[in-house]
Structure 1
């Protein structure tokens, strides 16, 4: 039975579905600190995230803006609402909080959902020292 399950994992992974893999690899505390990006913005946005090979992961317990701006695109409003409807984001103590790590396919989509407005994730996500994601990506 275990061999059968391993074959399923291999096949599903080869098809591009990463459902049996962790969103983030195991890291030491020091590695986590060096690779964690932050957004602290208006309307309660206070989030952490990390780049992965599959996209950008917003980390559990990250807070998102309490409400989107009037100019927030409808497709992102729908994405934000689906995360709330699916209980990935929940209202806890009057704050909208990610209950689990969540993978976005781009840092910009992650930043937009977190900030409740259109956003360029390459400049919104920053390391503790203020270095923007775009600088880190261009160094690699």
Structure 2
């Protein structure tokens, strides 16, 4: 819906506006230093489209694929990528629907709060601080993300 009225910009002086922008810049620096990238979107690596017009994935940021059969669960398959923010497990990855006591509580909480359908299909991209946390999220068991991944 389009509003035909122009909003009132208020009585914010240029000085106050500059102070507010400086505050936002400081907040970005502090949150980034603490490891929280809350002001930045999750960046996906560039991929090549079918018409061959975009750039290809760089050597340092490669898509990764994980496939594993888990007893009493079945097969899980996930796609992800290492980014400057951490490790991203991509939407539409199939994750285990159950977990065990070998994973940290923080991963159990992320699994519980994640948007996953009944079949275990992830409905959103998920960012993790390490490949191991991402692998544990997908598998539902303790895992080393550096040895669990298969390049695809």
* SS, match of residue 83 in structure 1: helix
Listed as ranges, the matches of 1:63-82 within 5 Å are 63-68=94-99, 72-75=101-104, 78-82=105-109
Note closer, same or farther for the CA distance 1:120–1:12 as it changes in structure 2 (3 Å cut).
closer
1:37 Cα deviation (Å)? Answer: 0.2
1:37 and 1:48 in contact (8 A); partners too: yes
Q: 2 CA distance for matches of 1:61 and 1:96? A: 9
Higher share in helix: 1
Report whether the alignment pairs 1:3 with 2:21.
yes
* SS, match of residue 96 in structure 1: coil
Task: Please give the TM-score of this superposition, normalised by the length of structure 1.
Answer: 0.68
1:106 Cα deviation (Å)? Answer: 1.6
1:51 Cα deviation (Å)? Answer: 0.9
Report whether the alignment pairs 1:99 with 2:99.
no
Query: RMSD of the alignment, in Å?
Result: 2.6
* Unpaired stretches in structure 1, ≥5 consecutive residues: 129-140
Match of 1:118 in 2: 142
Q: 1 CA distance for matches of 2:110 and 2:30? A: 28
Within the candidate set 98, 112, 120, 1:85 is matched to: 112
Match of 2:4 in 1: none
Listed as ranges, the matches of 1:118-137 within 5 Å are 118-128=142-152
Q: 1 CA distance for matches of 2:106 and 2:121? A: 15
